[in-house]
């Protein structure tokens, strides 16, 4: 287990380092001078050059990258070019909204997804199964921002209960959470159904039925528990993509979360915010995948820790 953990942690650090390098290179080769954008069109070349020197943008890119990495390790993400505030403070403020949205959306996704998947598996081939899987396919196909716009038009504008934008009150998270969670509920439902059907055809389930165990106990205790491995994989991978998907949803509902912070920073070419936000998202995703890898071994002892294959 120790060797497995060290290997996975080393891989995770390597991935985060690679993402930091790619992000830095891309942001520094795309057109646009942050100093010129900050000063406006009327600024003289001398003034722009002086500001570039103050910001350290006149130094060679390798030197800028190394300095940025050292600051990143110490938790210093720099200051926003336009808001003049520490990036870490801005991310912390945005994280409050994003985390609330993500928790609500994923709670909806887990409850609806696992419940629908189990019901569809139990009634395999029947009308309930076909209806639930049709809805799941529609949910996977529908982009979160499109669902968000539909909810705004048909729900928020017709009912005074839900605000069209903003999330100053808890009720403001309902529609964004539904828009964001529906897609992940659909993918969880499909994989839960597939895994449950495969598990329910195993010999130990037939033995449990022969012993006269109640059907709900067989389904919830024996079948669902042994079907968890692929479900956990989807749940873990979906958490990472949920953070990315929250960007457009936050923009549609005007929620000041991580996604909206990143999109606004990209439009202004506020490099410290873009770099800091991308590294935050990358680190969270890598940590989630690391936890999922470890859960693999905990849930299924047959997995060989050193190689990740079945013995």
Q: How many whole angstroms separate alpha carbon 192 and alpha carbon 129?
A: 12
Closest CA to 246 of 92, 98, 88: 98
Q: How many whole angstroms separate alpha carbon 193 and alpha carbon 117?
A: 4
For residue 263 the two structure tokens come to 């999109």
Which pLDDT value is given to residue 49? 81
Gyration radius of the chain's alpha carbons: 24
- Per-residue pLDDT of 211-222, as tens digits, reads 777 777 778 777
Q: How many whole angstroms separate alpha carbon 311 and alpha carbon 308?
A: 9
SS3 50: helix
Helix or strand holding residue 287 (H, E): helix 271-299
Q: Is pLDDT at 242 greater than 50 in this prediction? A: yes
For residue 34 the two structure tokens come to 């942050």
**Rounded mean pLDDT, 303-310:** 45
Dmax of the chain from CA atoms?
86
Q: Where are the domains of the chain?
A: 95-302
Which pLDDT value is given to residue 131? 92
Q: Is pLDDT at 306 greater than 50 in this prediction? A: no
Contact in structure between 274 and 81 (CB atoms under 8 Å): no
Contact in structure between 207 and 226 (CB atoms under 8 Å): no
Q: How many whole angstroms separate alpha carbon 209 and alpha carbon 255?
A: 50
CA distances (Å), origin 232, targets 104, 286, 291: 18, 15, 10
Q: What count of Cα atoms within 13 Å lies in the side-chain half-sphere of residue 28? A: 19
147-166: burial string, b at 16+ Cβ within 10 Å, e else:
bbeebbeeebeeeeebbeee
* pTM summary value: 0.73
Tallying the residues shown for the chain, one arrives at 311
Q: Is pLDDT at 185 greater than 80 in this prediction? A: yes
What percentage of the chain carries pLDDT values higher than 90?
2
**In CATH terms, is domain 95-302 a member of 1.10.3720.10?**
yes
Contacts of 240 (CB under 8 A, 6+ apart): 284, 285, 288, 289
Q: How many whole angstroms separate alpha carbon 157 and alpha carbon 89?
A: 34
Q: Is pLDDT at 286 greater than 60 in this prediction? A: yes
Among the listed ranges 77-86, 111-120, 145-154, 234-243, which one has the minimum average pLDDT value?
A: 234-243
Cα-based angle 87, 88, 91 (whole degrees, multiple of 5):
85
For residue 29 the two structure tokens come to 């080769």
Q: Which residue has the higher pLDDT, 230 or 175?
A: 175
Q: Is pLDDT at 155 greater than 60 in this prediction? A: yes
Q: Is the dihedral of CA 171, 175, 178, 181 positive or negative?
A: negative
Q: How many whole angstroms separate alpha carbon 68 and alpha carbon 77?
A: 8
């Amino acid at each position: 287990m120790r060797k497995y953990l060290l290997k996975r942690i080393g891989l995770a650090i390597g991935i985060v380092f690679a993402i930091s390098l790619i992000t830095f290179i891309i942001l520094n080769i795309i057109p646009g001078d942050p100093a010129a954008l900050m000063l406006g069109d009327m600024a003289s070349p001398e003034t722009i050059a002086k500001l570039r020197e103050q910001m350290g943008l006149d130094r060679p890119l390798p030197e800028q990258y190394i300095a940025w990495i050292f600051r990143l390790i110490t938790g210093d993400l720099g200051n926003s070019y336009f808001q003049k505030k520490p990036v870490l403070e801005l991310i912390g403020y945005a994280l409050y909204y994003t985390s609330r949205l993500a928790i609500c959306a994923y709670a909806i996704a887990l409850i609806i997804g696992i419940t629908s998947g189990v019901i569809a598996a139990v009634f395999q081939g029947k009308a309930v199964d076909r209806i639930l899987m049709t809805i799941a396919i529609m949910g996977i196909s529908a982009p979160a921002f499109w669902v968000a716009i539909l909810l705004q038009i048909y729900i928020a504008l017709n009912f005074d209960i839900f605000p069209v934008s903003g999330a100053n009150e808890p009720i403001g998270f309902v529609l964004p959470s539904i828009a964001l969670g529906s897609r992940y509920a659909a993918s969880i439902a499909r994989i839960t159904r597939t895994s449950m059907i495969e598990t329910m055809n195993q010999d130990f389930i037939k033995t449990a039925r022969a012993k006269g165990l109640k059907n709900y106990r067989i389904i919830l205790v024996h079948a669902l528990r042994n079907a968890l491995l692929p479900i956990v994989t989807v749940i873990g991978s979906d958490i990472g993509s949920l953070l990315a998907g929250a960007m457009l949803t936050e923009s549609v509902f005007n929620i000041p979360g991580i996604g909206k912070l990143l999109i606004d920073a990209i439009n202004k070419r506020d490099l410290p915010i873009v770099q800091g936000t991308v590294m935050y998202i990358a680190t969270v995703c890598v940590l989630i995948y690391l936890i999922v890898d470890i859960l693999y071994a905990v849930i299924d002892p047959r997995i060989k820790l050193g190689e990740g294959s079945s013995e």
